[in-house]
A = this chain, B = another copy of it.
Amino acid sequence: MTQDTTASMAEWRVTLRSTLGDDIVLSETHEMLPYCRDWHGDVTSNAVAVLRPRSTEQVAQAVKLCRELGLSIVPQGGNTGLVLGATPDADANQVVLSLERMNKIRQIDADDFSAVVEAGCILSELKDAIAEKGMFFPLALGAQGTCRIGGNVSTNAGGINVLRYGMTRELIFGLEVVLPDGSIFDGLSTLRKDNRGIDLKQLFIGAEGTLGIITAVSVKLTPYPDQVATALLGLASLDDAIKLFRRARRDCCDLMSAFEFMPPLAFTLAKEAMPDLPIPIAADYPAYVLMEISGSGLVDIDDLMGRFLEAVMEEGIVLDGTIAASQTQARNLWLIREGMNEGQAKRGMHLRTDVSVKLSQLANFVADAEKAVCEAVPGAVCVSYGHVGDGNVHLNVLPVAEATPEQRVEQIYKAKGAINAVLDRYQGSISAEHGIGRLKRADFETRLSPVRRTLLTALKQAIDPNMVMNPGCQLKIAPNS
């Protein structure tokens, strides 16, 4: 940091405090640390300050002030993102704006199948409050005890229920957004159907804070599915898992809520993280599926699951299976999936990917990509699992166990290159659900067509001409000349 920067840093902090109030501003390094380090702890950065406004008006005031001071803003929800979209980079003039204090549920209207909530509300708290009214907010992901709804919307989060309910985008009625000029876009309507021309809120969903700061959200609710059937199934291959998915999609109609694929290694990894976890199925099938059907009212979910499994086991598509007999057993089945993730983390720094291809090409892609990884990094271990119904696989790679940290970095780099080369042949996506952030920016920009780049640049320059909002996230764009 040069002397000039140090000087302006101090001046900036004084101005932020005097204008916004001490209560809003953090600027001690140790206080800022949790906001400047990403979820995995892979990257730690610094910021001019961390701002923690309590209201939309305070957010707007902060945005206007930062703009005047020439500071840029990195909006942050629960800081659980996986692509460095919510933490500052090396630029010296970045402020983190955390929405954590804007965590009120403004209303839940079961009669209207809607709720209005501030951006900083933790997802699981929102889901619980909605469940108390007999309703359901379907977004479900590993981080739900920590992530915040504004971040979910900003990243258009996916998760395990996408095959039935869609991405976050499809669960949103409206948004309140503080724009880069400090004005407030008030689109918090709960109208289910409103087709007045271009739908501006779509711009901010998935923009990862590059076009404005989402401060509140109105969401779409469904009746709470009080019947849930969960099964863990053993199969001969991923190809069979895909066949089973197609069959389940037809046989179980729109009542299937999750269909997750896991390799046998999942059990080993889960046991490493949670030694006492029961594994109620033989661990030697080549492929596993964790499947959930759910519903409410007059449908009989247990009966449906029973008849479906009977048919597919008789036909030999499913080799073995267990249905959870209680909520605890169902929870334990899902813990295998969570434990598998923790187990990977326990094995040290590794490659996490989040790619998608066409459903009909998923099995071939995984085979080709795993082969390419094995050739590029002999001895590395692939852990491929994910959301079969969405064509979305997390093809993770654990470096060779004995590798030094430097070797790990190199192996991760090589493995990623190998996977992406195969992915490009399949015309797949390098980000099926996690977004771009700063982590995937280079890989994103390399694959960006000139037409898309022109459109994205025009959009950014039109809405954020001074490049105040989350610069360096998604795309590097120079300010308007």
Contact = CB atoms under 8 A, between A and B. Distances in A.
B156 A358 contact: no
Oligomer: number of copies: 2
A427 interface: yes
Interface stretch (A228-236, A246-254, A266-274): A246-254
Which of A202, A307, A357, A444 has most B Cβ within 10 Å?
A202
Given A253-B296, A359-B192, A455 B185 contact: yes
A456 interface: yes
A193 B433 contact: yes
B194 A356 contact: yes
Interface size range of chain A in the complex = 35 or more
Interface string A431-443: 1111110000000
Nearest to A436: B197
A390 interface: yes
Contacts of A452: 185, 187, 200
A428 B194 CA distance: 9
B196 A436 contact: yes
A356 B174 CA distance: 15
B198 A206 contact: yes
Interface string A108-125: 010111100000000000
Interface stretch (A6-14, A39-47, A406-414, A459-467): A459-467
A192 B170 CA distance: 13
A210 interface: yes
B179 A170 contact: no
A433 B192 CA distance: 11
Contact of A430 (B190, B196, B454, B459): B196
Given A223-B249, A359-B111, A458-B462, A197 B192 contact: no
Contacts of A206: 195, 197-199
A69 interface: no
B475 A197 contact: yes
A324 interface: no
A298 B252 contact: yes
A158 interface: yes
Contact of A197 (B250, B391, B444): B444
23 contacts: A109-B358, A156-B195, A189-B429, A192-B389, A193-B432, A193-B433, A194-B429, A195-B431, A196-B429, A197-B435, A197-B436, A197-B456, A197-B475, A200-B452, A200-B459, A223-B253, A250-B297, A251-B298, A253-B295, A254-B254, A298-B304, A459-B463, A461-B462
Interface of A: 109, 111-114, 155-156, 158, 162, 164, 166-167, 169-170, 179, 183-187, 189-200, 202-203, 205-208, 210-211, 222-223, 225, 246, 249-255, 295-299, 304, 307-308, 311, 356-360, 387, 389-392, 427-436, 444, 449, 451-452, 454-456, 458-459, 461-463, 474-475
Closest 6 CB pairs of A and B: A251-B297, A462-B462, A202-B202, A223-B250, A458-B462, A193-B390
